[in-house]
Homo-oligomer: A and B are copies of this chain.
Amino acid sequence: MNNRNIIVSVIGAAGYSGVELVRILTKHPVVSIGALVANSNAGKKLSDISLHAKNEAKMFETYSPEAIASSDLVFVALPSGEGFEIISDLTSQGKSVIDLGGDFRLQNTSEYKKYYGRDHQHQNLLNKAIYGMPELNRDSIATSQFISNPGCYATSIILPLVPLVKSAVISDSHIVVNSYSGISGAGKKNTFEYSFTELNDSIQAYKANGSHQHIPEIKQGVRQFGGSDISFTFVPHLAPITRGIHTTVTAPLMPGITANDVLTAFHEQYKDEPFVALSPDVPPALKRVQHTNMIEIGWNINADTNTLVIFSAIDNLMKGAAGQAVQNMNIMCGFEETMGL
């Protein structure tokens, strides 16, 4: 290991986000992979799950302190609720940690209980957890050792909303958010409802009553980065797509706001961001962002209703999960932010 190189392990390496992480890390120029922890796939080879790199020697293993002893940084890509103990161990050992689960995103533990349906088990760690959305708080990320990686829907919604709220371009109420997610967003599934025949050629909403756990995350993010409390209705849907989230937001324009004001708000926030593409003329298409770490943001003014229609498109496994996690790692470690992405 030269003086720039780091050893990185992944816990939950065989899930969709974990596989994507390993794919990126394998090609990352200054990272060495330590352990690939995947309890239920322990003993299998990486190449049994993923051919992104022909890396046959690498095996999945079960979690143990020894497995990650030499790691400098550990990604935890476990389902929400399953990583509490491991994360607590890792941080107490002084490892840098990036958690792709939802357990450390909400600072408010009663909201955590309400939306995740369980008590928070490590409130003491919450004040160390930095919500890692690089375009909005990369300075905090750079000095953190524990990053809570944003949710996929939340990423696709907070990034377009923050500049508009900060600039008072849109109202803080009567905001409507409709998101359509590719099926990989649900993780690996073995239920009839997620079978190909049931989902192909179909579209269906779920959790439309306001119970989705990303709602408080989005509110918290817009408050933290945009400076305002907003009220919005969020309707998530499943679409017959493997990867990607397409979000359409509608929000009342504030009085006197012009098309140029909208453009300015977005340009001021994002014009130099390497992973944000602004598309004022052509609505973003999922096709353009799949397999990239980009978010594309577009918009239209509906003059009849004085409403701003905003679109975003991301790859849920990249900017919505593994890609953004590596972006956070690059910032934490002082690497070039786009390295390996």
Residues of A within 8 A of B (CB): 16, 29, 47, 50-54, 174, 176, 178, 180, 182-184, 188-192, 194-206, 208-210, 215, 231-233, 235, 237, 239-244, 246, 248, 250, 252, 274-277, 283-292, 294, 296, 300-305, 307, 309, 311, 313
Q: Are A233 and B309 in contact (CB under 8 A)?
A: yes
Cα A235 to Cα B176 in complex, Å, equals 12
Cα A248 to Cα B205 in complex, Å, equals 8
Partner of A203, one of B192, B200, B285, B294: B285
| Copies of this chain in its oligomeric complex | 4
How near does chain B come to A44, taking the closest CB pair, in angstroms? 12
Enumerate chain B residues within 8 angstroms of A274, measured Cβ to Cβ. 54
Partner of A51, one of B180, B188, B192, B294: B294
How near does chain B come to A124, taking the closest CB pair, in angstroms? 30
Cα A311 to Cα B203 in complex, Å, equals 11
Q: Are B305 and A231 in contact (CB under 8 A)?
A: yes
Cα A168 to Cα B144 in complex, Å, equals 53
How near does chain B come to A337, taking the closest CB pair, in angstroms? 12
Partner of A202, one of B29, B190, B241: B241
